[in-house]
Amino acid sequence: MTTVTYDYDLIVIGAGSGGVRAARMAATKGARVAIIESRYLGGTCVNVGCVPKKLFVYASEFSQSFKDAAGFGYTVDKKPEFEWARLRDNKTNEIKRLNGVYDGLLSRAGVDIIHGHGQFVDEHTVAVEDRQFSAKHVVIATGSWPVMPDAEGAEHIISSNEVFYLDSFPKDVIVIGGGYIAVEFAGIFNGLGAKTHLLHRGEPVLRGFDDDIREFVSSELEQAGIQLLYNREISKVEALDSGRFKATLSDGSVRETDLIVSAIGRRPLLDGLNIDKAGVKVASAGHLDVNEHYQTNVPHIFALGDVIGRVQLTPVALAEGMYVADYLFDESPRAVDYNLIPTAVFCQPNIGTVGMTEAEAAKQFERVEVYQANFKAMKNTLSGNPERTLMKLLVDCDSRAVIGAHMVGESAGEIIQGLAVAMTAGATKADFDRTIGIHPTAAEEFVTMRSPARIIGRDREDD
439 is a catalytic site residue: yes
Residue 33 pLDDT class (50, 70, 90 cuts): very high
pLDDT (mean) for 182-210 = 97
Question: Where along the chain do the CATH 3.50.50.60 domains lie?
Answer: 8-146+268-329, 154-264
Question: Where along the chain do the CATH 3.30.390.30 domains lie?
Answer: 343-455
Q: Strand, helix or coil at 396? A: strand
- What is the per-residue pLDDT for 2? 63
How many Å separate Cα 185 from the centre of its chain? Answer: 12
- What is the per-residue pLDDT for 460? 59
pLDDT (mean) for 144-153 = 96
- What is the per-residue pLDDT for 79? 86
pLDDT (mean) for 197-220 = 96
How many Å separate Cα 136 from the centre of its chain? Answer: 32
Q: Which CATH superfamily is domain 343-455 in?
A: FAD/NAD-linked reductase, C-terminal dimerisation domain (3.30.390.30)
Whether residue 131 is predicted with pLDDT greater than 90 in this model: the reply is yes
251 contacts: CB under 8 Å, gap ≥ 6: 231, 232
Q: Which of 115, 137, 406, 439 is catalytic?
A: 439
How many Cα neighbours within 13 Å face the side chain of 456? 15
Q: Kindly indicate whether the domain formed by 8-146+268-329 is annotated with CATH number 3.30.390.30.
A: no
The string over 108-136, giving b where at least 16 C-beta atoms fall within 10 Å of a residue's C-beta and e elsewhere, is: ebebbebeeebbbeeebbbbbeeeebbbb
Are 10 and 324 within 8 A, CB to CB? no
Whether residue 463 is predicted with pLDDT greater than 60 in this model: the reply is no
Instruction: Write the CATH number of the domain with boundaries 154-264.
Output: 3.50.50.60
Q: How far apart are CA 347 and CA 333, in angstroms?
A: 35
- What is the per-residue pLDDT for 1? 57
254 contacts: CB under 8 Å, gap ≥ 6: 246, 247, 248
The chain-wide mean pLDDT, for the chain, equals 95
For 144-272, where are the alpha helices, taking DSSP H only?
160-163, 180-191, 211-223
Whether residue 86 is predicted with pLDDT greater than 60 in this model: the reply is yes
Length of the chain: 463
* Strands 195-200 vs 112-115: parallel, antiparallel or unpaired: unpaired
Taking only Cα atoms into account, the Rg of the chain, rounded to an integer number of angstroms, comes to 24
Sign of CA dihedral 230, 236, 242, 244: positive
- What is the per-residue pLDDT for 19? 97
